[in-house]
Amino acid sequence: MRVSRLIPTLLALALLSNAATAATAGNKLPALSADPTKTSTSGLSSGAFMAVQYDVAFSASTIGVGVVAGGPYNCFGVTFNILTCMQGAPKAAASYAAAQSFALLGQIDSVDHLASQKIYMFSGTNDPMVKQSVMNAVWDFFKAAKVPDTSIQYVKQFPAGHAFISADFGNHCPTTESPFIDECAVDGANYDQPNAILTQIYGPLHPKSATLSSAPMAFDQREFASPLADMADTGYVYIPSACQKGGTLKCAVHVVFHGCSQSADTDHVGDAVYGKLGYNAWADSNGIIVLYPQVNATIVNPNGCWDWFAYTGPLFQVKTSPQLSAVRAMVMRLMKN
């Protein structure tokens, strides 16, 4: 084949390949006129660190956070030690001072907004990855931010492993293994962590839906994330039918950050977080859109963790950081008319 004919052929093949990749990444995240006053976050492990980072960086527009086995804001930035931030006793005062400094520089929202937030915290007594001393530092951080005791729920009595806790799906309570979701009983019934988190943040909820009105949707994350973010091509979102275009509600947005080795692309995980954990049933009956952004394992991030330890750059904890800015853009899309 002549070169003059080969080049158009190669270009056509490249376009077909790109189109196929885009198709596998899912649909475009829709604009749904979500309520800008009702955004919140939660996460496990690296996702809990990330949930705190989002909550603090965008505190003016975030009303609460659920922290499951995570650490205080900018822990690595003040300790430069991953082990301290997972197994030690990080100093919350240093984290809060860093947040104040970033706020003075205009790199995150004013820390004054944190005082009005609702905080949920969970630390399993059998968690071998993130010790309760680290979660205690999360408590101390929010106390330094003048969050009242009545606005913080700290659950730390369950013999859980390093995992989200589901009411009807997962491993035995003390387990720390994929998909990092456990079932833990209390008073003869399984503890429902998604319910506990959403109730702490949004107040009393309507009973969860027995049958979902919708299904989780895959969407293309690449329009939001630069290559520096090192995020997956595909994210997921659950949109109750009442929150869809033409729906009857102006819905809240809750962002769920998975943990390390817990993205949908990971073996033995799949839809465990975005489809089975339990957020969707409560969201369905309470007008909450649930966003499940994704980070897959890569060469620079072999465990598929969210960036709380500077693998995307030293300013991983501010608004303009690659991952925080990408997730913020997703949230803003859901709020767009």
What residues does each domain of the chain span?
29-335
The residue from 46, 59, 109, 162 that is catalytic is 162
How far apart are the C-alpha atoms of 191 and 116, rounded to whole Å? 27
User: Any catalytic annotation for residue 172?
Assistant: no
pLDDT (0 to 100) of residue 9: 36
Helix axes 322-335, 46-57, angle to 10 degrees: 70
Token pair, residue 243, equals 């929150």
What's the burial of 9, exposed, middle or buried (CB within 10 Å: 0-12/13-18/19+)?
A: exposed
Tell me the helices (H) and strands (E) count for the chain, helix number first.
9, 13
pLDDT (0 to 100) of residue 116: 98
User: Any catalytic annotation for residue 206?
Assistant: no
The 3-state DSSP class for residue 257 equals strand
pLDDT (0 to 100) of residue 249: 87
Mean pLDDT (10-residue bins), the chain, 337 residues? 36 36 66 97 99 98 98 98 98 98 98 98 98 98 98 98 98 98 94 98 98 98 96 98 88 98 97 98 98 97 98 98 98 96
How far apart are the C-alpha atoms of 50 and 72, rounded to whole Å? 10
Q: Note the pTM of the prediction, 2 decimals.
A: 0.92
The residue from 35, 40, 42, 45 that is catalytic is 45
How far apart are the C-alpha atoms of 231 and 174, rounded to whole Å? 30
pLDDT (0 to 100) of residue 227: 95
The residue from 35, 55, 109, 127 that is catalytic is 127
Helix axes 92-104, 132-144, angle to 10 degrees: 40
pLDDT (0 to 100) of residue 4: 38
User: Any catalytic annotation for residue 214?
Assistant: no
Helices within the chain (DSSP H only): 3-25, 46-57, 75-79, 82-87, 92-104, 132-144, 193-202, 279-286, 322-335
pLDDT (0 to 100) of residue 26: 60
pLDDT (0 to 100) of residue 248: 80
